[in-house]
Each structure stands twice: as C-alpha cells, then as structure tokens.
Structure 1
C-alpha cells in the first residue's frame, strides 16, 4: 500500500464521510418501508372508489334523477294549466244576449193557425242589424226555404239558433261567432207576414220555447232584459 506523501494534497480534507449503517439497521429500515406501504395499500382498498361502483347502480341513480325532474316538471305544468284554466273561466264567462234592442215581441212559441209556431217573432224596421245570442259556429248562411235568408248557429253547448227572414246576411258558413257579433239584417224574406226577426232555438234537434230557455241563462226576451254575466247577476 502506497503511503501518501506529505506534499500531496489531501483530497478529503474539509469533507465528512457518512458512515455506512450496520447491515442490521439497513434491514430494519427496508422492512419498515415495505410494511408501511402495505398498510397504506390496505387502507386504500377499504375506501370506496368511483370507478369501482357498479354501472347498474350509476344507471339507476341517473334514472331516478331524470324521473324526479320529470315528475316535478309535470307537476309544474299541471299547476300552470290549472291557473290558466281558472283565469280563462274568470275572463270568459258564458254570455247570452238579446238578438235585438227596441223590438215588439210578437207571436210567441206555440200553436198558431192550427200549426206549431216553433219560435218567437221580434218586430223591428227592415234593415235593423241583429246579433248572435251566444257563441258558436255558423252552420248555415243562405236561403233556407220558408225561413227565407237565414243564419243557423250551433252553440258550444250543442243547442242551435235559427235567425229567419233576413234581408241580408253578414256571416258565412264555417265562421265562428261570439255573442253580440252581427249576423245579418232584419227583413221579410220567405214565408213572412211583415218585417220581423224569427228566432228559433233547438235542443237535441227539436225546437223548444226560447222564453224559459233564455230566462235560465239571464235573458228575458219578452221584457227585453239581459244579464251579460248571468252567474254574477244570480249572486
């Protein structure tokens, strides 16, 4: 072994060498590290991991969320529809009106000259406008035999009104009308004796007396009195 000369520089001067641990201590350190890693691994395996959740469970959770949202949406739509329905009923009550103003009530419903007079006659000057007594659909607007030029309106409740002996018509078949809309002008066409409006009401296809029927709806055609909103008038 060569001895270091005193003139050679000391390469290790100023440096500290870390002593090598004994083999027994080294083994203990390594063993502790492996044991710690194992404990961590065991702990991690005990915790739930999202990617390990069954896809069926995830699908069921998603479906439950969608169903809950759908139920809430349908409940909201139902409530909105109910509010809209209540608002519409309050804003648009059933309206029944007189077909004319300032007329003479003549020839009531009943037997006349040995035959059934199936309506009432309201006498006014020729050319006087008349209006619909109730909302409905115009099913006839034109010549109608003994009624002359006539308008037939089928109401929303299934009843029908016939307006006869017109001198002119203001509506067409298939047209929707509201109570108070002009239908035509009074005349004496067809089998008419003098100028007048013949008003006839049918329920289930058969003529009825217009007087009590209209009275039940807030209109007294004999006294020329009408309640635009019969429910409010009754209360």
Structure 2
C-alpha cells in the first residue's frame, strides 16, 4: 500500500456532518435535491452536449426547484406556528387555574363571614381608600355589572367551575355584563355605595347559589385573604 505523502491534500480534513433536515420538511427537501441533481447531471454532460438541451426544459426544472423550496419554507413556517400555538394554549391553561387577591394594594381585613347584628354577613369586608382598583380573583364571565340593591354598584363574575364572586359597594365599574375577564383584570373601584358604612370592598363567594366563607374557600386555592398573601401571584408576576 502506497504511503500518503504529506504534500497530498487531506480529503477528510475539516469535513462536517450535514445535519438531517426536520422530519416535517423531509419530503420537500428530498424532492428539491432530486431536481437539483437532475440539473447538475445535465450540466455535467449526462447528455452529449449541454447546448442541445431545450431551454424550456431547463426553465421547467429550475421552476420546479423553486416551487419545492417554497413548499419547504411553507411547511417550516406551519411547524413553527403550530409549536407557538401549543405553547400559547399551555400558557392560557396555566393562567386559567390561577387565583388572586382582589386588592393588590394595602387593605385592612374587617367584618369576616358570619353572624353580625343578628343576621348572617355573607362575605368579608376589605377596607381600602375610595377609588382603589380591585381585580378579578379568577377568570370568568361578568353576569352583573350595575346597581344591586344594598350592595350598591356591584360586579358578579361566574367562574368556569360554576362558583361566583360578588364585589360590592363600588364607586365605579370597569366592566360590562357578558364580558369575559381574566384573573387580575380590573373590575372596578372601591367605594361606599349601597348599605355601606365607609369605603371598602365587600367580597362574597357563592357555590351553587349558596354563600361560602371566602377565607377557607380561597385558602384551598392558595390565597390567604386575611394575611394578604396568595401563593400564585409571585409565580405569575415573575419574569
């Protein structure tokens, strides 16, 4: 066997493995390669004389190559869109499971759920300055946005699990009936309307039409309204 001289070029030096095209573009890439190979073969002398090849044939081959390259690009774009859509769906699903505090500013927890002045106080009162924005504790549909008797200006949001949140005594409302809201969307401003004795947000939770104590009910969902701490908010706010 002849020893290779150091002056001979190294045929394998600097070679890199060509990456395999994604599976979704395999067919288009193979077709393009086949057409390209045909053009090279014609130019390299597969026919007796390249000049004798009909210009229309060459034009057709070049057009076919361009078409297949465009098809590969479209397939790649569709793949990217599909991946983005799947990620967006996952993000929306995660967001729909989050529960938040109705007030993201300082407030004072007063008047818990229970008997008060000889009758059941069916919610909790969160004292805050008039005009303080309050937000949806969970995503859902606004079923009431307007005057609601002793509750004054009120927003009611029905959640996907059938439960309802009632926000009473507002000074102003930011939503309309039938509107879809997400967790954390502003619903209105704290006020002193209806049967109220000072500026505060009255919050109730109803399940199947019956009031529930919001404190333990929200605690089960990671929100401690008495301590003004909710477990999920830091995850949502984190970059």
Q: 1:218 aligns with which of 216, 219, 222?
A: 222
Question: How far is 1:156 from its partner?
Answer: 1.1
Partners of 1:181 and 1:231 lie apart in 2 by: 17
Gaps of 5+ in 2: 1-81
Matching residue of 1:182: 186
Q: Distance in 1 between matches of 2:201 and 2:131?
A: 11
- For residue 93 of structure 2, what is the aligned residue in structure 1? 92
How many angstroms does 1:92 deviate by?
2.9
> Is the alpha carbon distance of 1:229 and 1:88 closer, same or farther for their aligned partners in structure 2, counting shifts above 3 Å?
farther
Q: Secondary structure at the match of 1:153?
A: strand
Q: Choose which of 225, 232, 238 in structure 2 pairs with 1:228.
A: 232
SS of the aligned residue for 1:194 comes to coil
- Structure 1 CA distance for aligned equivalents of residues 199 and 134 of structure 2: 13
Q: Secondary structure at the match of 1:92?
A: helix
Contact 1:126 1:186 in 2 (8 A): yes
Shift of the alpha carbon at 1:96?
Answer: 0.3
Q: TM-score, normalised by structure 2?
A: 0.59
1:150 pairs with one of 143, 149, 154: 154
Residue from 166, 169, 181 that aligns with 1:165? 169
User: How has the CA–CA distance of structure 1 residues 229 and 126 changed in structure 2, closer, same or farther, with 3 Å as cutoff?
Assistant: closer
What is the count of residue pairs matched by the alignment? 151
1:218, 1:230 within 8 Å by CA — same for their partners in 2? no
1:1-235 counterparts in 2 under 5 A?
A: 84=86, 88-89=89-90, 92-93=93-94, 94-100=97-103, 101-228=105-232
1:211 counterpart SS class: helix
Q: What is the CA deviation profile of residues 8-43 of structure 1, one whole-angstrom value per residue up to 9, with x for unaligned ones?
A: xxxxxxxxxxxxxxxxxxxxxxxxxxxxxxxxxxxx
Q: Distance in 1 between matches of 2:173 and 2:136?
A: 12
User: Radius of gyration: which is bigger?
Assistant: 1
Going from structure 1 to structure 2, the CA distance change for 1:132 and 1:207 (only over 3 Å counts) comes to same
CA positional deviation for 1:193: 0.7
Question: Partner residue of 2:41?
Answer: none
| Distance in structure 1 (CA, Å) of the matches to 2:191 and 2:235 | 34
Deviations 1:136-195 (Å, cap 9, x if unpaired)? 000000000000000000011110000000000000000000010000010010000111
- TM-score w.r.t. the length of structure 1 is 0.60
Q: What is the deviation of 1:87? A: 6.9
Please give the alpha-carbon distance, in whole angstroms, between the structure 2 residues aligned to 1:91 and 1:125: 33
